[in-house]
A and B are shown apart, each in its own frame.
Chain A
């Protein structure tokens, strides 16, 4: 399936390119300001996807799922903003954030062409793949690289939330079949 393939590609980019995370520098570990930016961007992407789904989705479970995503990711990002303010860290844009944003806007455009049940299925399939990719990045790169304990702990909560969303999305996807 096309959606699955492009999502797998996104995951591959996210997971297998330490160079992306370090930008032009030789370091393959993202810094805390970069990690904060990536995590925040990942939340914004899912918020935008949810807003599109609220306008376009037909199925009531899909609509409810989009509402849950909006609520949770806004709550996580609000905590992230409070934390960077407290730690006096300025989130720093980087290649991973830019790649994620570019892929997300392509996906929004692709989904925008779909309607009704086709949109519902494609949105939910992408939510499964997207959460899976972000979970992989959190586990293998972002959490181990975070040096500030509070940032690490927020990312760990974020991981549990994202894992929950992935399972929730899988349930909704199964219902749509």
Chain B
């Protein structure tokens, strides 16, 4: 995974916001009903990119209610993480798909 690269465009876009300008993107993939990495970590302000490689729809649903991302077959989506803490999340359609995302300040 690439490191924390700040593009000029991103710096310009984020300069006026509270979001740190050096936010990174963390990729989490769902394939064959498995989530990888199963234990991921991100920093507050980072973007999580959810990549669904299956022909089945999945969701990334935080047990805490922090996010509930619908991921149709072969689609991806993004969430910006705003709160520090460890989030346990699962797929609403296939609750046997479970993973953790650790968000550090």
Contacts and interface: CB of A to CB of B under 8 A. Distances in A.
Interface of A: 68, 71-72, 75, 78-79, 157, 160-161, 163-165, 167-168, 171
Given A75-B55, A161-B56, 13 more contacts: A71-B56, A71-B57, A72-B56, A72-B93, A75-B56, A78-B55, A157-B33, A160-B34, A161-B33, A164-B93, A167-B95, A168-B92, A168-B94
Interface string B83-102: 00000000111111100000
A68 B73 CA distance: 12
A168 B84 CA distance: 29
Interface of B: 32-34, 55-57, 73, 91-97
A161 B34 CA distance: 11
A68 B33 contact: no
Contact of A167 (B34, B73, B96): B96
A164 B73 contact: no
B9 to A, nearest CB: 37
Contacts of B73: 75
A160 B32 contact: yes
17 contacts: A68-B93, A72-B57, A72-B93, A79-B55, A157-B32, A157-B33, A160-B34, A160-B94, A161-B33, A161-B56, A161-B94, A164-B91, A164-B93, A164-B95, A165-B94, A167-B94, A167-B96
Contacts of A161: 33, 56, 94
B32 A164 contact: no
Contacts of A165: 94
Instruction: Determine which residue in B55, B93, B97 has the highest number of CB atoms from chain A within 10 A of its CB, and name it.
Output: B93
Nearest to B34: A160
Contacts of B34: 160
Contact of B95 (A71, A75, A79, A168): A168
B65 to A, nearest CB: 16
A153 to B, nearest CB: 9
Nearest to B55: A75
A165 B95 CA distance: 8
A168 B91 CA distance: 10
B94 A164 contact: yes
A124 B57 CA distance: 21
B55 A164 contact: no
B103 to A, nearest CB: 26
